Amino acid sequence: DTEVTQTPKHLVMGMTNKKSLKCEQHMGHRAMYWYKQKAKKPPELMFVYSYEKLSINESVPSRFSPECPNSSLLNLHLHALQPEDSALYLCASSLRSSGNTIYFGEGSWLTVV
């Protein structure tokens, strides 16, 4: 089973709202990722967690705040977003962070109004 589960599938939020995206995997993977994908573009890496520690932050604005409560869960907390942040947010995981196969979830479609 190579399943990464993301909730919610769709989210509409105002620029003053606080919301969270959630991601879960039960494959025993120790690396988890957040990617952002705009329409007709490839995914762009935002954050990497390795063994529950933040390993990479690709200069993402602080209005995006990741959290890894345990090895199976990954959250992305959203606050004071801008309309240009509307995109598909993809969670992914891999066994480790050293070049292992990366599996993506179905994504959360975020619209900021």
Partner 1 sequence: GENVEQHPSTLSVQEGDSAVIKCTYSDSASNYFPWYKQELGKGPQLIIDIRSNVGEKKDQRIAVTLNKTAKHFSLHITETQPEDSAVYFCAASHSNAGGTSYGKLTFGQGTILTVHP
Residues that bind partner 1 (CB under 8 A): 2, 4, 6, 31, 33, 40-43, 45, 48, 50, 55-56, 88, 90, 92, 94, 97-107
Q: How many Cα atoms sit within 13 Å of 11 on the Cβ side?
A: 28
What is the smallest separation between the CB atom of 111 and partner 1, expressed in angstroms?
14
* Contact between residue 44 and residue 58 where contact means Cβ atoms under 8 Å apart: yes
Q: Which is nearer to partner 1, 5 or 82 (CB)?
A: 5
What is the smallest separation between the CB atom of 58 and partner 1, expressed in angstroms?
9
What is the smallest separation between the CB atom of 72 and partner 1, expressed in angstroms?
17
